[in-house]
Homo-oligomer: A and B are copies of this chain.
Amino acid sequence: MDATEKKKLKLLDGMATHVLEHGLSGASLRPLAKAVGTSDRMLIYHFGSKDRLIESLLVHIAGKLKLDLDANLPPRRARSRMECVAEILAVLSRAEIAPFARVWFDILSAAQKGDPVQKRIGHEIMASLHGWLVERLAEDETDAPATAMALLALIEGLVVLNAVGHGEAAAASIHLLLGPSA
């Protein structure tokens, strides 16, 4: 990796921190630049345009999320669906994840609006989560990929409901779909 790439990575790290704190929508070049000690002029110089900067930034943030989850999710197989979901939920419920959720909804909004770049990034984030679920499901699941996809839907729904204040009630009810936790 040459110096240019290293510099870009450093900028992306700083901007990611800023976006995770202040949200993606409404993030404009001048505050972003100030957060990393440079100017809007230089951000355009390095990334070409704001659109390309945002794309790089989202990929970078998705990578950070993946690293975080990898570091905090035990790689062992669960004994049950409920246990599997509970472990993922425990990781996703930490305070450090909330800023990611904020950005996640921005990605979903753009994707639903038709933005192909953000839809692709969102697709990959979900594919990544799906992969984790597949690897952590109990071995006696007959159709692990499909089961993981269904559990993923449940988890994403919990994230949504949590955003509007139904999180606790929803989390307390999922055992009705998943059976006992043991």
Residues on A facing B (Cβ under 8 Å): 23, 25, 98, 101-102, 105-109, 111-113, 119, 122-123, 125-127, 130, 143, 146-147, 149-161, 163-166, 169-170, 172-174, 176-178
Nearest residue (CB) in B for A102 is B112
Q: Which of B102, B147, B157, B165 contacts A157 (CB 8 A)?
A: B157
Q: Which of B25, B125, B147, B177 contacts A150 (CB 8 A)?
A: B177
**Identical subunits present:** 2
The A interface is mostly helix, strand or loop, or mixed, namely: helix
Whether A155 lies near B152 (C-beta < 8 A) is no
- Of A23, A112, A152, most buried by chain B (CB within 10 Å of CB) is A112
Whether B178 lies near A152 (C-beta < 8 A) is no
Whether B111 lies near A109 (C-beta < 8 A) is no
